[in-house]
Structure 1
Amino acid sequence: MRIFRPARLSSVVAAASLVLLAACGPSVPSSIKIGVAQPLSGPSAARGQDLLNGVKMAADELNASGFKVAGKVVKIEVVAVDDKADKETAKKVAQELVDQKVTAVIGHLSSDISEVTIPIYKAANIPQLYTSSAVDLAKQGDGNTFRLVANDGLQAKAIGGYIAESLNATNVAIIFEDTAFGRPMSKDVSEALGKLKKKVTMNESVSNKTTDFAAFVAKVKATPPDVLVAVLRDNQLLPLFEQMKAAGLSGVPVLSTNSSKTEKLAKAPNDITTLYVTSSALEPREFAAGTAFLKKFQTVFKSDPVWGAHYAYDAMYVIADAMRRADSVDSVKLREKLHTIDPVSPVTSSMRFTADGEQAYGAITVYRRRDGQWEPLMRSDRW
């Protein structure tokens, strides 16, 4: 049976319906899931757990504050997965997070691992916030990835600039891991040094599992460089330094990259007399709010952060702020908002993403190992 209403009554009903719909606002669930994909076992486990701890602390604070989206309290559930720093495992756990319908993902740590997971999150329209630094990742992400730190393009310039201006070196040797991180980094460093009229005497790749550096050390001994740039992780640098010391090369200054800036390396035997690292992940104490963050972290976890917990902590707040401003937990709307706002970032205080997802406020600090600690020497966002 068809029912006819007077035109005026229909208009009143329609208007009332619009008012009701507006009052209800967008559909917002009572809880959401945020994926954290990091290496929680193996050589990089300390860094992975550090990042997870940062996310957990921020989520707990937001939940305790009664975090709301569109006026509705929303509980944040952290779903952590272990990518084991392995490509196949990473692809598997990335798909698991997609299947669990997470709103966003904070991960992964290593560039070669992020490289294989970016297409999975992108296909599912799930924003990915990561600390990986290889330049090409942003291009691959095509607007769906958001880098929390400076990329390796800036880090390579920092390495070249510091070697040329502060160390006043002329001849430079490079050794790098043959990965999505090491290959472009060695290329960019070599180009940066070339522009500064410095000579790269050797530029050699090794597997990221290599621990026997006898052949490389023999070449260094035959033609000692003014500086050795080592794009390797701490589990490879330690045997390399031991073998360099045995060959009488302890006096060769070494400059490494952010992947090796660990407490383990800082406190290792001084097989190399002078060791520098550049890092896109700055120390918490380099930020005005860093001291307060460190106190809270120590209270919660009974230990100090080991690497980038403050970036992961800020990442959780960034996601929350974007959802709040979007009045939605929809992943697509979240991604759109991340591209347009200066979000809340309690520790770093300045986190903005460019159109392609690069970190607009990234900077690089040069550190020197001294008395078992990493002493900051200089920082710049320009180099």
Structure 2
Amino acid sequence: MNTLNIGKLTLSLMVGLALTACGGQKQGGDSTAASGDNEIVIGFAAPLTGPQSHYGEEYRNGAQLAIDEANAQKLTVNGKPATFKLMAEDDAADPKQATQVAERFIDAKVAGVIGHFNSGTAIPASKIYEDNQIPNIAMATSPTLSAQGFKYVFRSMTSDSQQGTVLGKYAVEKLGYKKIAIIDDRTAYGQGLADEFEKSAKAAGATILPRQFTNDKASDFQSILTSFKTEQPDVIFYGGADTQSAPMIKQIRRLGIKSPFISGEMTKTPTFLTVAGPDAEGVFTSLAGFPLDKMPKGKEYETKYKAKYNQDVATYSPYGYDATWAMITAMKQANSSKAADYLAKLQAMDLDGVTSQHFSYDAKGDLKDVAITVYKAEKGKWVPVDSISTGSK
């Protein structure tokens, strides 16, 4: 055989091997095809670097705890004992990076995805998952996510239309705030929550001052806060993360504005209490679900979480845990890690979870069993003051 023929044969073998490795079929989410055994890969996406990394790390901890428990139970999927693996990727809370992460998951043939964390990342990534038939359970709360009509999209937390509606009504009817100032960070999450809060507060009879805006990279808010010195609203609502709400409340107090401050679940964090310090006192926040000690399996989860990570449960890990177990349970019930087989089981899921005894979905992928808890910062701790259950929709 001459040198030319040897070269052609070598090239042919290399191409054949490459095509075998790639599989030639992106759709369907069959992770076992990629690994060649019964290792089932589940993708995970959240900010793991940058100012929101504390959210993503805790969220990932919950998902990993579920993975570890499933592996310890040696569950049967695809007709034999399965090993689950979490493929954790950092989307840095950036929409462009999120779509790149989604493409990596498709190339890796993951069986499903837990995440993304932020609405601004989950919404663009969801189109990629839908086109490639990959179920994904997002933490994101923007109503837009489920309004797209995608059948592969689910949530692990209430939508802003649920939380914002409850919080706006509560602020007016229970806390007695009538003149309300609203600021949001223009992200899908922050603006969406503020929009729903505003609609609900108006419906309850509140007067809304001209809306103010910032962004999720800002640290100086004095220009938008100055007008509140003369207006002295009954309350200031902020839609956004603790990276802005903590310095914002400090600047509010430094300007001599005495108005109470209220925000959503991304402010209800240990980080906010630490950064805001004494200025956190009296701040109200809301969070989907009941307080950890009132969750159906909250105390049991807290014990397991502390034993594994040697830290307290902050906010998001129970939701990541339930979402991961819901996906794994659907695969177990279908005896398959192929999305075409287990999607119907996920759609019909009724999981006895940590966050809810009925972790289940409506036709849009929103959670049916909805509760909102209002918290108040008192002496460096978040203290639950009221829980509002809206029941199954």
> Aligned AA for 1:294?
E
Cα-to-partner distance string for 1:53-100 (whole Å, 9 max, x where unaligned): 111111111111111125411110111111111111111111101110
Shift of 1:124: 1.0
Q: Structure 2 vs 1, CA of residues 346 and 189 (structure 1 numbering), >3 Å: closer, same or farther?
A: closer
SS at structure 1 position matched to 2:278: coil
Residue in 2 aligned with 1:334?
342
Q: Equivalent residues in 2 for 1:1-383 (5 A)?
A: 30-69=38-77, 71-140=79-148, 142-249=150-257, 251-267=258-274, 268-271=276-279, 273-280=281-288, 282-346=290-354, 348-382=356-390
Distance 1:288 1:184 in 2: 29
Question: How far, CA to CA, are the matches of 1:366 and 1:321 in structure 2?
Answer: 31
Identity of aligned residues (%): 28
**Is residue 147–residue 364 contact of structure 2 (8 Å, CA) maintained in 1?**
yes
Q: Within 1, Cα distance between the matches of 2:101 and 2:349?
A: 30
TM-score (norm 1): 0.89
The structure-2 alpha-carbon separation of the partners of 1:87 and 1:259, relative to structure 1 and needing over 3 Å to count, comes to same
Displaced runs of 4 or more, over 3 A: none
Which digits, 9 at most, give the CA deviation of each residue in 1:123-175, with x for residues without a partner?
11110101111111012251211111111111112222211122111101100
Rg bigger for which structure?
1
Shift of 1:348: 3.0
In structure 2, give the amino acid aligned to 1:92. Answer: Q
Offset at 1:306? 2.1
Cα deviation for residue 362 of structure 1 reads: 2.2
**Distance of aligned partners of 1:112 and 1:282 in 2 relative to their CA distance in 1, 3 Å threshold:** farther
CA distance in 2, matches of 1:373, 1:332: 45
1:252-308 CA distance string (max 9 Å, x none): 111101121110112331225420001125442221311111111111111112221
When the two structures are superposed, what TM-score results if normalisation uses the length of structure 2?
Answer: 0.86
3-state SS of 1:336 partner: helix
Q: Give the secondary structure class of the aligned counterpart of 2:296.
A: coil
SS at match of 1:325: helix
- What letter matches 2:119 in structure 1? S
- CA–CA distance in 1 between the matches of 2:252 and 2:351? 46
C-alpha root-mean-square deviation of aligned residues, in Å?
Answer: 1.8
Structure 2 unmatched runs, 5+ = 1-32
Distance 1:132 1:238 in 2: 21
> For the residues of structure 2 that align with 1:346 and 1:185, how far apart are their CA atoms?
25
Deviation of 1:347 (Å)? 5.1
- Report the Cα distance in structure 1 between the residues aligned to 2:187 and 2:355, rounded to whole angstroms: 31
Contact between 2:194 and 2:239, CA under 8 Å: does it hold in 1? yes
What is the number of residues matched between the two proteins? Answer: 356
In structure 2, C-alpha distance between the alignment counterparts of 1:244 and 1:320, rounded to whole Å: 46
